[in-house]
Chains A and B, each alone.
Chain A
Amino acid sequence: MLRIHLLGELSLEHDGVVLAAPTGRPARTLLGWLALHPGLHPRAGLAARLWPDVLDSSARASLRSAAWALRGALGPAAPLLEGERDRIGLRADALWVDANAVAELVRGGRPAQAVELAERGELLPGLDDDWVVAARDEHRDRVGAAFAALADAAADPALTVRWARRLAAHDPLAEDAHRRLLRALAAAGDPTAALEAHRRFADRLRRELAVAPSAATRELAEELRAGAAQGTVPSTPAPAAPSALSGRDLELAHLRAAWGHARAGQGRLVLLEGEPGIGKTRLACEVLAEAEAAGARTAVAAPPEVGDAPLALWAELLHDLCRDVAPAPGPPVWVTDLATLSPAVASCLAAGAELQHHAPRDPELARTRLLDAIAATVAWACADRPVVLLLDDLHLADAPSLEALARVARRIPRLRVLAVVTRRELPRRPELDAVVHALATRAAAADAITLGPLHADAVAEIARSAGLGDAGDVERVVDAAEGNALLATASARALARGEAEAPATLRGAVRADAARLDPHARRLADLLAIAGRDLGVAELDALGLPDRDAALHAGVEAGLLRGAEGRVGYRHALLRDAVAQDLPEDRRAALHEDLAAALARVDAWRPERSAEIAHHLRAAGRDAEAVDELRRAAAQARALGAMPEALAFLAEAAELAPRRAQVRLEYAAALAWLGREHAAMEQFDRALGDIPPGDVAARAAAWVARGNWYRSSLCVPHQALPAFRQALGEIDIARDDIPVPVHIQALAGTAWAEALIGDVDRVDTLIEEIRRVAGPAVDGDDVVHEIGHAQSTVMIRRGRFTESYAPAEEAAEAALRVGRLDMAFGALGNAACAAACAGDLERALGFADRIERAARDGSPPTHVEVLATRAILLARMGRHDEARSEIAREEEIVRALDDPVLEATAAFDHGIVALAAGEDEAAAELLDRALRGGAKCSRPSARLARAEALARLERCDEAEAELRATALEPVGPADQPDTLVPRMARLQGLIAAHRGDRELAARRLREAVDGWRRVTGGREGERYAALLMDVGRLPLGGMVMPAEELARAEHDLEALDAVVR
């Protein structure tokens, strides 16, 4: 690996050895450009770019000289400077460049790490070529965006100021950065420091550029000056005081009672339901305000009305909740998991510490871990003070958000949390009903309140509080409002303004209010209407609204808008909808375009915004640009484990870009993951058809991608193998054109599949080829893992279990080095099971111990899996007390996770351990609970185990019923079907023996013995390889050892007389 530092002093390092940087300017220039642009590039273009002022022939000669000098400077790393007749470049797969790493970190939503890396210095100091200046500008903008992101995300005002100062120092002449600093200082309560900073900025502009600050900057400074004089700190306009709450005394009392319980540690969820405008949110906000005044922490969020980004509601809610939450010590693993959803919130909770996060490949596991992280974040937020959450308009929420609510709700009874959820009656959301019902019935911790129309007296009060004094006018409002608070307010305002009649509809009232706005205020109102949600200060800044604060004041005065906590939006969604509906099409498209551009500039670091940006681009008619945003939205959805949502984004992208093969390939991958095999194949074939036959690299990559669908958590080697073989076939056509990572993936995938189900003798050849292709990167952790995993699997398949240990350990160590606990778990878990197959249970336990040490810092579901493995191994070793202790630990973690399937699975594990210990009553009960609860286990095996427990208890009829039920269960390879018949026969023999039918018992037991003799044929490797393909759990719990079972059946036959007596 060649590491190049372009930031600050130029430095080079090859495999840990420092190299002397080239001294000549041409070689340094060439190195700089090639490092920023890894891979091969046409010589002619490169020469022209680096030597633009000379003839082409001279430029090429200069390029040759520079390349020669550079090659000399690189020394042992010279082979990484690849040169062909027409192309030259640095090998991308063996290169790390600090400036490129900064860009990756910013794109990946890791601004803290980006700025730390960027601190080293200026990009390519000492060079002043045009391309260097342009690259430097790009780098500066990128780092500036990272500082801005950190400032926006900071929960502590002092931290906001710190990042704003860093941004201003980074780009000392940028007015945006300067204004951000002024606002941050003012918000932190130090307007004097803000004014001093402005003075210094103005001086610098005058000295260096001979210009004055812009009008926007000057106005901001004036505001600060006026505020400082009065002792107040205006930033965004103060929110309008909420109207008095009328006619909701009973409901308010109910909410206050719920809040009382929550404060005392008995959390509650209250669902407020009613028609639009009836006052649900107003009622909830009344309790929020009371709670906040008493020192509680509050947060509000609503699902975005555009974009459909999964879990955007929770990203918003946690952003609001954690603005002043203390960092979590450690930080714990759930903070790292949270980074997938909200890098900003995770960064705050980690106090800026670097988070090594690798989202699990399995979307199911990714979703489970993320939902746990969301619940853990809410629990952390109420550790130091009680919390009130308002989740507004949840009839609009996406399915993953409701799943997250269900996960949080399970913990609510034990937390100091009041969660208030509002929704309209339609559309019905059965998932939401289920959450409330479950919480109400399991813990009496939920209530539903339906808000009906207000009584006439209450409406009259609203009318009077809006300024109406005339009794006749008040009566007209009461008539028009029909008990609806929003309509009452709109009607009262209209009459108070002197209009002759109360508006017939809300839309009419809004139209009238909007018509009175000046152009700037109207533009703000229109943008907010199109946005479908509140906008933050940074977003409004990016929209470049002139006189933004005055526009907001006007909107507030018109009764349409409100501003609070740095966010601006409509008072009610109905008002927003009414304004949006009145927009003419051409104006609407232009607004969408402006919004898309603004959000892309400001919110690039917020993954959930991609869906929203795509929506606006499409609405603006910019379909081509929307495609890549849709792809990003899909990638984010996949990282969150929201596969149906990812599929929807990719379907849309594929429709917009029907000839872009890569889009269609991603669409096909999502279809494959969701089990829509036929559709996936169809899309794949279409994508392949769009790749030119001569583009071998793209075709090979497509086949590798397809192989990887089936190599992921789907684990279908029968499908993967033909795809990887096809990839290798393409690669054989034009090896030199294939990027090394693609070639390695094709070889590694083939090796994996051949090891599991194919020609196992071919695997060694494939591994040698991997080594050859990898070259200097052969010691890279990814390559080491692939090779070790393939070798380990081959040994297992051949039944040479003990020889699988060493390569499995190598694979696991490599995975742990890159933070891939899931991959390490797989490697060590297989080693543990291989050792069990070899009869070396101590060794198996040793492997399980190693996983457990790593899993302690991993996700709870992984830790649970490891504890189950240890328990079952200990039970097989006869160490029953220790096995019970591991089960107890497993069950404690599972109880905290509050997941019914995990609880059922833990019951299965406990049942197996109990059976081994001869605790037949407990085993029968636990295994029954496991089967009813949908435990992740082999159901036929679970039934046969229960039948054995029942048979031992001489509950013969029930045992026989279990055998019958076994025959009606589906059976797959992981159920070890060749073992089921002799197992069943043996149990039939035991049942017959207990019933005193010696002849039948002997016949059945002989059946069992004959069956086991057929099974024990040296195919343990094949059996275990089949188990490996059934993902979900380590198969240790259901593993059957034919030799042991044969011995048991023979023993039972011999002991038959004793049983009958």
Chain B
Amino acid sequence: MPSFDDTAVSSAPPEEVWKALYDPARFPEWFAGVERVQPDGPGAYTMWPEGYPDFPMPQQIRSSREDGRVTISCMVSDLIFDWRLSELPGGGTQVDVHVEIPEAEARRLEDQRASVGASLRRLVELVATASPPARD
């Protein structure tokens, strides 16, 4: 299955990034291509892609722990996103994302790479803006 990775650093602490990732209702604020989200209960939500108000898509969000790092997995359209958060020694959070796309969508790999990159950067900016300054 075609895949790619990307990474970014946020000055915000891990819990701020975590809150954004775990709040599907806020996906439209940073997740490219997501127009509207309706939470459906624990770990489940329905997403409407940009430009497709009549096509609701039920999704799932999960997390697991490997090698001491938490991976949060979610699916948007048919793409699988694994987000990993690591607290940085001097403060801030490194956000890694691994994305897998279906074979049938392989031609969109580069477009998706650009889109996810943009989403990742909007995410780290959003949470940095929302976070208070670090305490000495």
Chain A positions within 8 Å of B, measured between CB atoms, are 963-964, 966-973, 976-978, 980-981, 984-985, 992, 997, 1000, 1011, 1014-1015, 1017, 1019, 1022-1023, 1026
Contacts and interface: CB of A to CB of B under 8 A. Distances in A.
B132 A997 contact: yes
B35 interface: no
B42 A985 contact: no
Contact of A972 (B13, B14, B63): B63
Interface residues of B, number: 25
B22 A971 contact: yes
Interface centre among A968, A980, A985, A997 (most CB of B within 10 A): A968
Interface in B10-49: 13-15, 17-19, 22-23, 25, 39-43
B118 interface: no
A977 B70 contact: no
Contacts of B63: 970-972, 977
B19 A984 contact: yes
Contact of A976 (B40, B42, B72, B132): B42
Given A964-B87, A976-B42, A1023-B41, A969 B70 contact: yes
B14 A964 contact: yes
Interface centre among B39, B64, B69 (most CB of A within 10 A): B39
Interface in B97-128: none
Nearest to B16: A967
Contacts of B85: 967-968
B43 A977 contact: yes
Interface centre among B19, B39, B65, B69 (most CB of A within 10 A): B19
A964 B15 contact: yes
B75 to A, nearest CB: 15
Contacts of B132: 992, 997, 1000
Contacts of B61: 977
A976 B17 CA distance: 18
A969 B72 CA distance: 10
Nearest to A971: B63
Contacts of B70: 967-971
Contacts of A1019: 40-41
B15 A963 contact: yes
Contacts of B87: 964, 968
Interface centre among A966, A967, A977, A1019 (most CB of B within 10 A): A967
Given A964-B87, A1011-B23, A973 B42 contact: yes
A992 B85 CA distance: 24
Given A969-B70, A970-B70, A997-B132, A978 B18 contact: no
B42 A1022 contact: yes
B19 A978 contact: no
A1023 B43 CA distance: 10
Contacts of B25: 1014
A966 B15 contact: yes
12 contacts: A966-B18, A967-B15, A968-B85, A971-B72, A972-B62, A972-B63, A977-B22, A977-B63, A997-B132, A1017-B39, A1022-B42, A1023-B42
Contacts of A966: 15, 18
A1023 B19 CA distance: 19
Contacts of A997: 132
B43 A1026 contact: yes
Nearest to A1015: B39
Interface string B44-86: 0000000000000000011111000110100000000000010
B26 to A, nearest CB: 9
B128 to A, nearest CB: 15
Contact of A977 (B13, B42, B64, B65): B42
A-B CB proximity, top 6 nearest: A967-B18, A1022-B41, A967-B15, A970-B65, A1026-B42, A1019-B41
Contact of A978 (B13, B41, B72): B41
Contact of A984 (B15, B17, B41, B72): B15
A1011 B22 CA distance: 11
A978 B39 contact: yes
A1022 B65 CA distance: 25
A280 B94 CA distance: 59
A1026 to B, nearest CB: 4
Contacts of B13: 964
Nearest to A1021: B41
